[in-house]
Homo-oligomer: A and B are copies of this chain.
Amino acid sequence: MHHAADILLTLFVIFVAAQIGAEIAQRIKLPGVVGEIAAGCVIGPSLLGWLSPEQILPGTPLDVLAEIGVVLLLFSVGLETRLDDLKKVGKSALLVGVLGVIIPFVAGALWAHGEGFEWIKSMFVAAAFVATSAGITARVLQQLGVLQRIESRVILGAAVIDDILAMLLLGVVSSLQGGGSLDLQSLLLTLAGAIGFVAIIGWGGSQVMRRRSGWLEAPISPHSALSVVLAICLGLAWLSTRFGLAAIIGAFLAGMIASETRQRKELEHQTLPLLSFLTPFFFVVTGAKVNLAELASVDALLMLLVATAIAIVSKLLGGFLGSLSLGRRSATIIGFGMVPRGEVGVVIASLGLAAGVFSDRIYAVVVAMSLLTAMVTPPVLAWLLRRGNPGEATG
């Protein structure tokens, strides 16, 4: 009867640490997620060691809970986003997505080459500079209640495009690194697959739901609409990984589809307790992945600062230039919204380490850079969004 006792203690510690972190952050006027990520840093292997490195490896219960947490988070963000809203900002989102990939990639490659990496390896390192993690920005936007603003929509649309392009880029870089040549045909096929997936699910799914959400409450299904859409969420989260995309893209699409149903408001309401319970695991585990020990030298810290500055400025520039047509202030908000690399950068760095491209130090630097961008963004974003009333609030 004692099974799983240890994990219960760990869950308790993580959950309480997240609440305390969020509470402290909010008292000093920072968004709650910053506190949750910082709490992860504190209780993680680098400081208190209440979480061991083994406990947060991929595939462990905590990692799975974290994954479920971010999947549900993006699902709930999708629930507050309708396809029509995204369509209106399509052109800006596309530009932000494309420039937000190209500029950080070039900047990252130049930096890595300057640090002594050969070009192909530099491109691998640069890939970690590219992919925006939508989770952190999405949480900030959601908690500030500004998901309906035009900037939020551009960010969410651009995050989908960003993920498609980053996925392609990582594919190209990995195959170059593996000594393969660039197979343009298979590359185009991958691109077509990813775009096709997003388009068919996003557009087709919305159509189906708009017309047929009656069946969600028909007597034929005594199960709640919630169970049905949660099943769709898990299914699409998995399916999107089959097309090379992040699970959260599928979850976001699932939420967007579900937002077309008549039960939308009820679903939004029912998703909140799921978020309260599960997203803290995502943010705390994310924070726990920083390895402060590897960064305990002036050299490494300097390297980290430069890398982080490049990561922030390049992404900010991409987002800013891509959405300049919306005005400078909105463009600044969008630029900052795209900055967090979060867990996606961590994953690419892990791939690089496994492929022998990354040294331990560059791994630690890239991971810390990814998480620093994630921690810096929320306060800036919150500050930008709170002052004045920029952007048209449509919808």
Interface residues of A (CB under 8 A from B): 1-5, 7-9, 11-12, 15-16, 19, 22-23, 26, 58-61, 63-65, 67-68, 71, 131, 163, 166-167, 170, 221-224, 226-228, 230-231, 234-235, 237-238, 241-242, 244-247, 270-274, 276-277, 344, 347-348, 350
Contacts and interface: CB of A to CB of B under 8 A. Distances in A.
A348 to B, nearest CB: 8
A112 B67 CA distance: 45
Nearest to A241: B5
Contacts of A235: 12, 16
Contacts of A23: 221-223
Nearest to A246: B1
Given A1-B344, A8-B67, A8-B237, 9 more contacts: A1-B163, A3-B350, A4-B63, A7-B64, A8-B71, A12-B237, A16-B231, A64-B64, A230-B276
28 contacts: A1-B244, A1-B245, A1-B344, A2-B244, A3-B350, A4-B64, A5-B247, A7-B59, A7-B67, A8-B67, A8-B237, A8-B241, A9-B238, A11-B68, A12-B238, A15-B230, A15-B231, A15-B234, A19-B231, A22-B223, A23-B221, A23-B222, A26-B222, A61-B63, A227-B276, A270-B272, A271-B273, A274-B277
Contacts of A222: 23, 26
A16 to B, nearest CB: 5
A276 B5 contact: no
Nearest to A167: B1
A296 to B, nearest CB: 28
Q: Interface SS of chain A: helix, strand, loop or mixed?
A: helix
Contacts of A221: 23
Contacts of A12: 231, 234-235, 237-238
Q: Which of A4, A234, A241 has most B Cβ within 10 Å?
A: A4
A367 to B, nearest CB: 14
Contact of A234 (B8, B71, B270): B8
Contacts of A223: 19, 22-23
A357 to B, nearest CB: 16
Contact of A58 (B3, B163, B226, B350): B3
A71 B15 CA distance: 15
A59 B59 contact: no
A23 B223 CA distance: 8
Contacts of A348: 1
A303 to B, nearest CB: 25
